[in-house]
Amino acid sequence: MFKRSILKDFDKTFILVVLLIFIIGLLTIYSATQARDLPFSESFFVRQVIWMSIAVLFIIIALVVSYYRFIDIAYVIYVLNIFLLIFVLLLGKARLGAQRWFSIGAFAFQPSEFIKLSLILVLSGYVGARKDTMARAGNMIIPIILLGIPFVFVLLQPDLGTALLLIPIFFSILIVGGADMRYIIGMVVAGLSAVPVFWHFLRDYQKQRLLVFIDPNIDPLGAGYTIIQSKIAVGSGGLIGKGWLNGTQNQLNFLPERHTDFIFSVIGEEFGFIGASAVVLLYLVLVKKAFTIANTTSDMYGKCIATGVGVLLAMQVIINIGMTIGLMPVVGIPLPLVSYGGSSLLSTMIAVGLLLNVGMRRSTF
């Protein structure tokens, strides 16, 4: 299936690190959900394994097909993804509530998880095609629109975290693509000055979450509860942790959302600083490798994709772990490869596939 020359650049270390992180995630999901007494076949552990097997199929597709084919159909994927976002919005409205996912059979599907990839592809396509003219001001307009449309719809989902994630992806691809730094800085300034307007559109619970970030004690039993309990969990893990399945914050149910967004609190509590920093370092390995691929690829499309994926991974890790220790506001971003959830796992694995795809083919161009 692969040409030998391609396989030579296939990064086995990368896949091993991904697997290692996933296994740590599985163990943590098991620990975080064992109190629920679900039959093993229905447990989150097993479901995550099933998701992983599906994800492996997707990663194979993302590897086998040259990333050029994805760039070719980037606009189709992008538009389709926007439609799905709108569809979920309408579905949610019809049900009189917020809903960012819809179900296909037994599985919930969350289109906002995939818009990150769609944006990486569509921006890479646009920037890659204009590698010599990106410094022009006129070439800033289309990328802004490409960012703006999904940003608004994701925000309406409501999914503040994913919407915010789109911003570093956008800037990193533009920078790599050769945009004029003055425009970049101008956009950052404009974006920051728009924050008060943006604030106006946030839902109350989102505002509350951002406010408790500044001071968790303003609402210790509401929005601040999660942050306080999470910090206690991580901090009480100490150097070596309380041991797997032995975290009291985790096992005694003090941590909300501990198998999804706050899974790192369980890692911090049960595996201590040694385990927590090991996980951070493993992610750092992935991110560094992504940037190495970006730097060693001469093709601008591939460079953009690799940078976008690298930044996406890095920012997800930083925001997610940051929010468990109170460094970042609680915005609802899963920890890639570790948090329970099919859509997140799938989109991360596709991103990994795209990255390796670029890495495998970098020398052929």
Partner 1 sequence: MKDRIITGLISFLFVLLLASLFYNQVLRYFYYSKLSKNNSIRILPIDGPRGKILDRNAQVLVTNRLSFDAAIVYQELGDRERLFRVLGDTLAMTDRDILKALAKAQKKPYAPVTIAEDISKEKAMALEESGCDIPGLRTETRSKRDYIYKNSGAHLFGYLSEITEDELLDMKDYGYRSGDLIGRSGVEKYYNADLRGIDGGTQIEVDNRGKEMRSLGVKEPSSGKDVYLTIDRSIQLACDKLLGDRKGAAIVMDPRNGEILALASHPAFDPNIFVKPDTSQERLGLLRDKVGRPMSDRAISGLYPPGSVFKIVTAAAGLESNRISKNTQFTCMGSFRLGKAKFDCWKKEGHGPQNIVGGLKYSCNVFFYNTGRTVGVDLIENYAKIFGFGKLTGIDLPDEVKGIAPGREWKRVYRKSAWYEGETINYAIGQGYLMVTPIQVLNMMASVANNGMIVHPHVVKRIGDDFVQAQKPKRLDIKDSTIKIIRQGLFEVVNGEHGTGSRALVEGVIAAGKTGTAENPLGKTHAWFSGFAPFDDPKICVVVFLEHGGKGGLEPAGIAGGIFKEAKNRGYL
Binding-site ranges for partner 1 (CB under 8 A): 172, 175-176, 178, 181, 229, 231-239, 248-249, 252-254, 268, 272-273, 276-277, 280-281, 283-284, 287, 291, 294-295, 307, 310-311, 314-315, 317-318, 321-322, 325, 327
Residue 235 CB neighbours (<10 A): 14
Work out the angle between the directed axes of helices 44-64 and 342-361 (0-180°, nearest 10).
Answer: 30
Compute the least distance from the CB of residue 82 to partner 1, in Å.
26
Q: Which is nearer to partner 1, 155 or 311 (CB)?
A: 311
Compute the least distance from the CB of residue 177 to partner 1, in Å.
10
Which residue from 266, 230, 325, 231 is spatially nearest to 30, judged by alpha carbons?
266
Q: Which is nearer to partner 1, 88 or 319 (CB)?
A: 319
| Phi and psi torsions of 102, nearest 5° | -135, 160
Q: Which is nearer to partner 1, 305 or 346 (CB)?
A: 305
Q: Which is nearer to partner 1, 59 or 120 (CB)?
A: 120
Q: Which is nearer to partner 1, 202 or 284 (CB)?
A: 284
* Residue 138 burial by Cβ neighbours in a 10 Å radius (0-12, 13-18, 19+): exposed
Distance CA 21, CA 351 (A): 15
Q: Are 333 and 216 in contact (CB under 8 A)?
A: no
Compute the least distance from the CB of residue 185 to partner 1, in Å.
11
CA 87 to chain centre: 22
Q: Residue 107 forms beta bridges with which residues?
A: 104
Compute the least distance from the CB of residue 237 to partner 1, in Å.
6
Q: Are 192 and 334 in contact (CB under 8 A)?
A: no
Q: Are 313 and 286 in contact (CB under 8 A)?
A: yes
Compute the least distance from the CB of residue 290 to partner 1, in Å.
10
Compute the least distance from the CB of residue 128 to partner 1, in Å.
15
Q: Which is nearer to partner 1, 158 or 310 (CB)?
A: 310
Q: Which is nearer to partner 1, 85 or 227 (CB)?
A: 227
Compute the least distance from the CB of residue 110 to partner 1, in Å.
25
Distance CA 361, CA 9 (A): 8
Q: Which is nearer to partner 1, 148 or 238 (CB)?
A: 238
How far is the CA of 241 from the CAs of 133, 259, 275, 284, 354, in angstroms? 53, 18, 8, 21, 35
How far is the CA of 225 from the CAs of 159, 208, 255, 333, in angstroms? 20, 12, 9, 18
Q: Beta-strand (E) ranges in the chain?
A: 102-104, 107-109
Compute the least distance from the CB of residue 362 to partner 1, in Å.
15
